[in-house]
């Protein structure tokens, strides 16, 4: 009888260890990742509002890509230079907010979909354009999320 009790105790210990190892091997908490990506997107918008092209470019990965009609711009310095005139003009503003966030099962890639608004003032008139965007985010080695691809499309004129 003592031998059976010892075996039962040993099997219980092995089962507990297996459960502990299994718990350690669980994948990333995708809801936590979604929140982190949403927060990164909102911080991206805030940095752009506060620091213009420098804030915009700071959220791109070194080899990030910005897709525009007819051309893809690659790399943070190129993207900063492209956006400097638009984001440095104090008569214009650009705002956006994510409406949807997804993350890959492995937790290394994610994307945001959202709506943007650009307002330009000229004299007594204001022109507002709206559209949609998709931003693909990649988790960096330091745990931060950086933009690897950004594309936006304007709504059709009304």
Looking at the domain assignment, is residue 17 inside a domain?
Answer: no
Q: How far is CA 148 from CA 21, 77, 135, in A?
A: 34, 14, 8
Question: Residue 35: which domain range?
Answer: 29-154
Looking at the domain assignment, is residue 22 inside a domain?
Answer: no
Looking at the domain assignment, is residue 92 inside a domain?
Answer: yes
> What is the count of structural domains for the chain?
1
Looking at the domain assignment, is residue 8 inside a domain?
Answer: no
Give tens-digit pLDDT for 100-137: 999 999 999 999 999 999 999 988 999 999 999 999 99
Looking at the domain assignment, is residue 54 inside a domain?
Answer: yes
Looking at the domain assignment, is residue 128 inside a domain?
Answer: yes
**In this predicted structure, which of 23-27, 58-62, 133-137, 145-149 has the lowest mean pLDDT?**
23-27
DSSP 143: S
């Amino acid at each position: 009888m003592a031998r059976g009790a010892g075996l039962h105790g040993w099997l219980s210990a092995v089962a507990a260890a297996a459960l502990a190892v299994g718990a350690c091997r669980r994948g990333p908490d995708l809801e936590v990742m979604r929140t982190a990506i949403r927060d990164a997107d909102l911080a991206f918008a805030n940095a752009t509002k506060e620091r213009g092209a420098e804030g915009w470019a700071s959220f791109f990965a070194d080899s990030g890509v910005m897709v525009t009609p007819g051309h893809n711009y690659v790399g943070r310095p190129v993207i900063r230079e492209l956006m400097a005139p638009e984001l440095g003009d104090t008569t214009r503003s650009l705002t956006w907010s994510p409406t949807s966030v997804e993350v890959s099962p492995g937790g290394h890639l994610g994307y945001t979909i959202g709506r943007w608004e650009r307002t330009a003032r000229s004299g007594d008139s204001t022109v507002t354009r709206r559209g949609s965007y998709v931003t693909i985010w990649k988790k960096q080695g330091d745990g931060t999320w950086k933009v690897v691809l950004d594309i936006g499309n304007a709504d059709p004129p009304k």
